[in-house]
Structure 1
Amino acid sequence: MSVTVERLDGGIAVLTFSEPPVNLYSLELHDAFDVALDEVEADPPRALLIRAEGKIVSGGVDVAQFHARKTKADTLALYDRMLELPTRIDAMPFPTFFAAHGLTLTWAFEVAVACDLIVASEKARFGLVERVIGLTPTMGGTQRLAARAGVGRAKEFVFTGDLYDAATLERWNVVNRVLPVEGFDDAVLSFVRSIASGPTKAFGAAKDILRHFEAGGVPQAIEHTTAIASELFDTRDLQHGMESFLADGPGKATFEGR
């Protein structure tokens, strides 16, 4: 089992998880994620890419860890712990990406929808299949799916427990990009680089505004927009971006993420 962080040029951090043979969620894997995310947050990147090793992204969770709980209180403690992982990723102040190269079930899908952008290969399939053990998703996937695709689609996804291909979820506005299987990893990194080279602080501000939108709709987002945007005044990227625009026209600025 491993969760590693690789730093690439351009300020990109790549977090790769591996728990052979099928990358099942366990508390031990979660602990390893926390260590890796501590490393990411200690030196914030301009973009974070989360990916998996192996033939599939994940086959789901280690059901034995659920079954080992003997009381409702212990079960609640487990679910609260599990929810911490996508919640932590969702709160990050820089762009986050999830790369799905194959089958992506339960917890891995819930982490994916906690990221800002999901990039999938043409052969990727997704599912929240907790119905097979009589459970409902516990890591925020239902509501985050609803935020992207609507309540009706989220109900369908959870109630059926079916697997959905990448093209369908792109049509539902859940997956952002579907890419060919051949050259998938390179294409994902190219997409991440195109975002990472932008004004990182401004992207973080956009995320803050959208969190207010998710919490309280357009009125709450409007209430906070100008305060959030004005905090960018002191960023080097905004000052340089305005100077470059006035001197050289649009699209010539290079950003540092500060």
Structure 2
Amino acid sequence: MSDQQPLLVEIRDNIQIMTLNRPEARNAVTLEMAEAMVSALDAFDANPSLSVGIIVGAGGTFCAGMDLKGFLQGKRPTIPGRGFCGITIQPPRKPIIAAVEGYALAGGLEVVLACDLIVASREARFGLPEVKRGLAAAGGGLLRLPHRLPYHVAMECILTGDMLGAERAQSHGLVNRLTEPGGALDAAIELARAVAANGPLSLVASKRVVNESVDWGREELFERQAAITNPVFASQDAREGAAAFAEKRKPVWKAL
């Protein structure tokens, strides 16, 4: 058994970088990796000094999906209540960015779709090849992809199992920023810093409203939004943001 850690965690200022670390297997997800991801995301959400997370793959590729050897041994890399790789059912409360080099396939694409922002190399490839294996993209691919791409483009990916190039993905709005090969992580860090410069309570509340409001009735939209956003307006950080603007300085956030 290898002593290699399946997930590497690095803190840079207020950004947490999580690296899928099985490059010899194109970072295919094992149960151990999924368990490590749950621990990393819980620590990320619980740490008030962290504002943004990044998920990246080691060795020039993002993730080829589920580790099939583990699957054949009955070890599916899905955590109850948390989903594939510990993220697809319950992503973190805070914003998270996928930095994609190489392939993001099957469960790998489903991890990407669980993120809020996507940065990709021009040579990156996305796909849900489950139908080619007699399986189904049950880790969120069937649920999320038709809401991120035009219906017929999404259905082509889902029903053929063929890959979608990064440039076409960006043209349809799936990818936020394209980079040259090898530049996805640096560009993701740059984007993360732009996000992390903002109020941490504002970021969490904004993400929560966007994600939860899809299930709200029209007549209750603003009432339910207010329950989430009113505490932000009443926070110390809101006063700090206004004071910093008036005083022409950078705000010092306390997540309070």
- With the shorter chain as reference, the TM-score category is 0.7 to 0.9
Aligned to 2:240: 240
CA separation in 2, counterparts of 1:107 and 1:119? 18
Q: How many percent of aligned residue pairs carry the same amino acid?
A: 29
* Match of residue 61, structure 1, among 35, 58, 66: 66
Within 5 A, what are the aligned runs for 1:38-187? 38-44=42-48, 45-69=50-74, 83=83, 85-87=86-88, 90=91, 92-181=92-181, 183-187=183-187
Structure 1 residues 148 and 133 mapped into 2: Cα distance closer, same or farther (>3 Å)? same
Report the CA distance between 1:8 and its aligned residue: 0.9
Report the CA distance between 1:220 and its aligned residue: 4.9
- CA deviations 1:190-218 (Å, max 9, x no partner) are 11111111112111111111123322375
Extract structure 1 runs of 4+ deviating beyond 4 A: 77-82, 217-220
The structure whose residues are more often helix, as a share, is 1
* Match of residue 29, structure 1, among 4, 18, 33: 33
The answer to whether the 8 A contact 2:15-2:52 is kept is: yes
CA separation in 1, counterparts of 2:141 and 2:254? 30
Structure 1 residues 4 and 89 mapped into 2: Cα distance closer, same or farther (>3 Å)? farther
- The CA RMSD measured in Å over matched residues stands at 2.6
Given the alignment of the two structures, is residue 256 of structure 1 paired with residue 256 of structure 2, yes or no?
no
> Could you tell which deviates more after superposition, 114-123 or 145-154?
145-154
TM-score, structure 1 as length reference: 0.85
Report the CA distance between 1:149 and its aligned residue: 1.8
Number of residue-to-residue matches in the alignment? 248
CA separation in 1, counterparts of 2:43 and 2:82? 20
Gaps spanning 5+ residues in structure 2: where? Answer: none
CA separation in 2, counterparts of 1:217 and 1:28? 40
TM-score, structure 2 as length reference: 0.85
The answer to whether the 8 A contact 1:100-1:120 is kept is: yes
Structure 1 residues 59 and 240 mapped into 2: Cα distance closer, same or farther (>3 Å)? same
* Match of residue 8, structure 1, among 6, 12, 16: 12
CA separation in 1, counterparts of 2:220 and 2:113? 23
The answer to whether the 8 A contact 1:5-1:36 is kept is: yes
Gaps spanning 5+ residues in structure 1: where? Answer: none
Tell me the SS of whatever aligns to 1:162: coil
